[in-house]
Structure 1
Amino acid sequence: MNLAVKLEALHYRARANRWMRYFTTFTRLALAAGFLPAGYVKIIGERFTDLHNNQPMGHYLEALHHTGYYYTFIGYAQVLAAMLLLIPRTVVLGTLLYLPIILNICTLSFAVRFEGSLLTAPLMVIACVYLLCWHYERIKYIFPFNNPPFIQPAQNNRFPKLFLAVVIATFLAVGFTVTHLYKLMPRNTQVDCETQCDDSEIPEACKVFCESIHKNGQDLDKSLDDYERALKQKK
């Protein structure tokens, strides 16, 4: 059995399961709920968060807020993607619009170590990929496979225990990864940042990092350099 046939069989077996359809509907609604308020805030011209400008993500969002109609454009794109996800006939189009936006947010979250979306953004990326897999029959023609004939499987109401285990394992794996990926996080305020210093190898060096971010307004890389220098001096 070639790869195309295996993918086709797996895809239609999943789509025939009632519980999988419920999960897919929940995924669509959850993704739409994630973008509707965020997009609306941008459309009406309000700043997305109240993070201060010295915080890396706050610095980026402040600059983004001052980009004029580009800021509004992002808001409309987010709302449009969310609305398309709510309509069954346009789910694929909505997902294709949603995915690059949330992938950009995910990359940004890791680049500036922003805790606010460090967990949710990668999960939303995975959710978009899942929706594209769910609608494989609509996008399979872009793959260099021979397309086998469609075979409608019988309806299946069996609860997908293995799939549920994979979902839970994915959530736990992403959660564990993002919480153990970095030794230092800028956090939202200097006080919050310094709460991690008690568990740091050298608390004084950690506090130098927090001051460099929140008091001196240095970017993340410069603050990490300050931390490394302080770490060497304290040893």
Structure 2
Amino acid sequence: MNSFSKLDALHLKVRQNKWFNYFTVFNRVALAAGFLPAGGVKIMGERFTDLHNNQPMGHYLEALYHTGYYYTTIGILQVVAAMLLLIPRTALLGVLIYFPIILNICILSLAVRFEGSLLTAPLMVISCIYLLCWDYHKLKAILFSGTVVVTQPKITDNKFPFKFFSGVFAFLVLFVFTITHVFDLMPRNTVTDCKTQCDDAKNPGACNVFCECIHLKGQPFDKALDDYHTALKQ
């Protein structure tokens, strides 16, 4: 049995399991719930957050808000992706639209250390990858034969996959711990919130300067962070 045959057999076994089907529905609904309100706000032409312009994510979102129909188009795509995810026959198309959007949000959140989506965005990316794997047979058919097989295999396995869900739980714990400890300094949403972390910082004075440079002086995030790290070495 070659690698593709083994993968096909494993994939079929997973899709025949009742609990994996429930988990798939949960992922689709959760992802849809994440994009419907966010997309609706953009379609209505409203600002997505009330972050001030000096805050790194606020600066980006304010600029995005002023891009006209580009801002609206993102909202439309978010709503369309969410709606398609809720329909089993169109769920794959939905995740294919959803994935590049949330991947961009994930990278942005990590780049500016935005706590509002620092945990959720990466998890949504992983959720999309899971759904892509769930529809592996469709992707394989499109890429190699140009046709799509949409037949849902009959559910024949009711056994709860303890190993899989234990792994999911362990991953979530490790992920949350890593994300909340990997960054030495966060810009936070306001200068007051930012300064609450300074008492525990390696250099409280430099930390306060960092917060003021971000929120009061409007300096670029990377420059303020570099200045803080330089101060640590002195």
Please indicate the TM-score interval, normalised by the length of the shorter structure: over 0.9
Q: What pairs up with 1:187-226 in 2 under 5 angstroms?
A: 187-226=188-227
> 2:148 is matched with which residue?
none
1:10 to partner: Cα distance: 1.1
> Whole-Å Cα distance in 2 between the matches of residues 107 and 29 of structure 1?
23
> Whole-Å Cα distance in 1 between the matches of residues 28 and 163 of structure 2?
21
Contact 1:123 1:174 in 2 (8 A): no
> Whole-Å Cα distance in 2 between the matches of residues 86 and 153 of structure 1?
20
Q: What pairs up with 1:1-235 in 2 under 5 angstroms?
A: 1-141=1-141, 155-232=156-233, 235=234
Which shows bigger deviation, 119-128 or 166-175? 166-175
The runs of 5 or more residues in structure 1 that have no matched partner are 145-149
The runs of 5 or more residues in structure 2 that have no matched partner are 145-150
Contact 1:212 1:226 in 2 (8 A): no
Contact 1:106 1:118 in 2 (8 A): yes
Contact 1:54 1:218 in 2 (8 A): yes
Deviations 1:81-115 (A, max 9, x none): 00000111000000000000000000000111101
> Whole-Å Cα distance in 2 between the matches of residues 142 and 76 of structure 1?
26
> Whole-Å Cα distance in 1 between the matches of residues 92 and 142 of structure 2?
14
Aligned pairs, number = 228
Contact 1:205 1:227 in 2 (8 A): yes
Contact 2:84 2:91 in 1 (8 A): yes
Contact 1:42 1:48 in 2 (8 A): yes
> Whole-Å Cα distance in 2 between the matches of residues 10 and 2 of structure 1?
13
TM-score, L = length of structure 2: 0.93
Helix, strand or coil at the partner of 1:118: coil
> Whole-Å Cα distance in 1 between the matches of residues 170 and 3 of structure 2?
25
> Whole-Å Cα distance in 2 between the matches of residues 186 and 154 of structure 1?
48
1:141 to partner: Cα distance: 3.5
Helix, strand or coil at the partner of 1:115: coil
Which shows bigger deviation, 55-64 or 170-179? 170-179
1:142 to partner: Cα distance: 5.8
1:181 to partner: Cα distance: 1.7
Deviations 1:9-49 (A, max 9, x none): 11111111111111110110000000000000000000000
Contact 2:15 2:155 in 1 (8 A): no
Structure 1 runs, 4 residues or longer, greater than 6 Å off: none
> Whole-Å Cα distance in 2 between the matches of residues 105 and 60 of structure 1?
11
RMSD: 1.7
> Whole-Å Cα distance in 2 between the matches of residues 111 and 164 of structure 1?
30
TM-score, L = length of structure 1: 0.92
